[in-house]
A and B are shown apart, each in its own frame.
Chain A
Amino acid sequence: MSSKLKIQIKVNSIEERQEEIIEEFSMFEDWMQRYEYMIELGKSLPLIDEKFKTDDNIIKGCQSKVWVNAEFKNDNIKFTADSDAIITKGIVAILIRVFSDQKPEDIINAKTDFIDEIGLKEHLSPTRANGLVSMIKQMKMYAIAYNSQQNNKA
């Protein structure tokens, strides 16, 4: 398991990153391995700076808290995040791997079908209380905001 955990965010496209994740998850034979991996991803998510764990950055699911922070650097958005529940943290880690250090426009246009393909479809239901849908929405909202900021400057 540990070899898989050396997650390096390479400068490749959102689609390429999604393909990578799909490939990793395809090696798992059952739900247990998938969840063990997500738990590992959650545990290895770099710590968010405490100052970003504000009420403004909180995405309120019914059951677990998720904080997502966005910074705009060198035309890219850098996301950091945390959650009080470890599986939720694993999910947000996957999203960060896909969306962080990408251009706002690419984030806005990105598809999110890969979540279905890696067997986490159950987490996509808007009624499920982990807020995965809200997390994606929030990341895209940041992208829209930075995008319009850029366009205004230009």
Chain B
Amino acid sequence: MTTTSEQLLDIKKIREDFPILHREINGKPLVYFDNAATSQTPKHVIDCIVDYYETKNANIHRGVHTLSQMATDAYEEAREKVRAHFNAKKAHEIIFTSGTTHSINLVANGYASVLQKGDEILVSAMEHHSNIVPWQMLCEKTGAILKVIPMSYHGELEMDTYKQMLNDKTKLVFVNHVSNALGTINPIEDIIHLAHAVGAKVLIDGAQSAPHIKADAQALDVDFYTVSAHKICGPTGVGMLYGKEDLLNMLPPYQGGGEMISEVTFEKTTYAGLPHKFEAGTPNISGGIAFGAALDYMNDVGFENIASYESELLKYATDEISKIEGVEIYGTSPEKKTAVLSFNIKGLHPYDIGTLLDKMGVAVRTGHHCAQPIMEFYKIPGTVRASFSFYNTIEEIDIFISALKKAKTMLL
């Protein structure tokens, strides 16, 4: 363990930014290792939400009064922050949604009027249910065929098979940037490049990558990219869909309502332009603004610092947990994944381990992580998943390891 990253990040100071990290659970200091499910919220973001309701609360885009203008400005400033963060060409290529699931459904719904019978859609074998089910529904509607890009036992996509699967019938490819159950960082540059070569469009689910990797939409040349704010220190119920302008223009609106129209008569309605076409109804205004504040916070900390520190945490945790007899880790080597440790202990059920860890103040996720096809692949009921964030510490990993040993002794 070098001290470089720790010094660079000043973990002690960072932890002071997160009020929840100082509470106790079951009489023990909280050790929060369920960051892949949701990240904790810094004071900066909480204050932003409070400030919105105390000083700016009004409906946006329509009012002529000052408050409405202030709220609109703040909301659109946040969109600009999101644009800058993901390096989209234009701010209206950023659609605010309720989160990744909403973003994916928006695209899947839109493609229902584009796809034809016999068209092929590829998804990876390590997708979250939210990146499987909408495409199955889309295939039912259109007669398109869903095909699965297989993964190896080490939790890496089989790229040779992927290449063979691509053909001129392939219209869409959906892959997560990072697997939620295993942490694998997928080679999305190659995936996108290869798909484009046969004329297919690519949606990358960035829910799990966003807290660790700053994705550059233009450099990646990605067609669609989705993110949930609550995974990157923002509030729940808000997220974004990035889409290339021409593709977003091509897709029909997802929901009808206020905000998304240009003109309405009972004979015909014309739709508003981007991004409003996809933002029907009053949006999560405070959420959008706080999403921007969360990106500010994360960028202040610095994604490179975050990545190198988290990688040290993961490496330490992997080394320590490997010393426990009977531990099997799922997924690839620490260098090829984000700070996710998905494991089982031989003879023990993940639910039992998770329950006892919770009694000792350690929050982990147990179960199938909404990725049942992966569990089926490994023939296991689920895993215990410890996922680390930049505000976690080596000391917390020590507490986790000793709690795990205690749980094992109790259960065996």
Show the binding face of A for B, using Cβ within 8 Å: 31-32, 35-36, 39, 62-65, 84-88, 129-130
Contact = CB atoms under 8 A, between A and B. Distances in A.
Contact of A63 (B348, B356, B366): B366
B351 A85 contact: yes
Nearest to B359: A31
B26 interface: yes
A130 B351 contact: yes
Contacts of A35: 355-356, 359, 410
B19 interface: no
B351 A31 contact: no
B381 A64 contact: yes
A130 B367 CA distance: 11
B410 A85 contact: no
Interface in B347-369: 348-352, 354-356, 359, 366-367
Contact of A86 (B366, B367, B411): B411
* Band of interface residues on B: 10 to 19
A85 B349 contact: yes
B183 interface: no
B382 interface: yes
Given A31-B26, A35-B410, A39-B411, A86 B349 contact: yes
A84 B411 contact: no
A84 B352 CA distance: 10
Given A39-B410, A129-B367, A64 B349 contact: yes
A36 B410 contact: yes
B351 A63 contact: yes
Contact of A84 (B26, B349, B356, B410): B349
Contacts of B382: 63
Contacts of A32: 359, 410
A39 B354 CA distance: 14
Contacts of A62: 367
Tell me what chain B mostly uses at the interface: helix, strand, loop, or mixed.
Answer: helix
A154 B110 CA distance: 61
Contacts of B355: 35, 87, 130
Contacts of A86: 348-349, 352, 411
Contacts of B359: 31-32, 35
B352 A85 contact: yes
A87 B359 CA distance: 13
Contacts of B411: 39, 86
A62 B382 CA distance: 10
A33 to B, nearest CB: 10
Q: Which of B348, B352, B354 has the most CB of A within 10 A?
A: B352
A91 B187 CA distance: 45
Contacts of A129: 351, 367
Given A63-B350, A63-B382, A88-B351, 20 more contacts: A31-B359, A32-B359, A35-B356, A35-B359, A39-B410, A39-B411, A63-B351, A63-B366, A65-B381, A84-B349, A84-B381, A85-B352, A86-B349, A86-B411, A87-B352, A87-B356, A88-B352, A129-B351, A129-B367, A130-B355
A35 B382 CA distance: 22
A91 B32 CA distance: 27
Q: Which of A63, A65, A129 has the most CB of B within 10 A?
A: A63
A39 B410 CA distance: 8
B316 to A, nearest CB: 27
B379 to A, nearest CB: 13
A32 B26 CA distance: 12
Q: Which 4 A-B pairs have the closest CB atoms?
A: A85-B349, A63-B351, A85-B351, A63-B367
A65 B348 CA distance: 14
Nearest to A43: B411
Contacts of B350: 63
A86 B382 CA distance: 15
A39 B349 CA distance: 12
Contacts of A84: 349, 381
A33 B410 CA distance: 10
Contacts of A63: 350-351, 354, 366-367, 381-382
Nearest to B358: A122
Interface string B315-353: 000000000000000000000000000000000111110
Contacts of B351: 63-64, 85, 87-88, 129-130
A88 B277 CA distance: 49
A85 B347 CA distance: 10
Interface string B1-43: 0000000000000000000000000100000000000000000
Nearest to A86: B352
Contacts of A31: 26, 359
A31 B355 CA distance: 11
Interface string B364-389: 00110000000000000110000000
A39 B409 CA distance: 11
A73 B367 CA distance: 37
A63 to B, nearest CB: 4
Contacts of B381: 63-65, 84
A94 B195 CA distance: 56
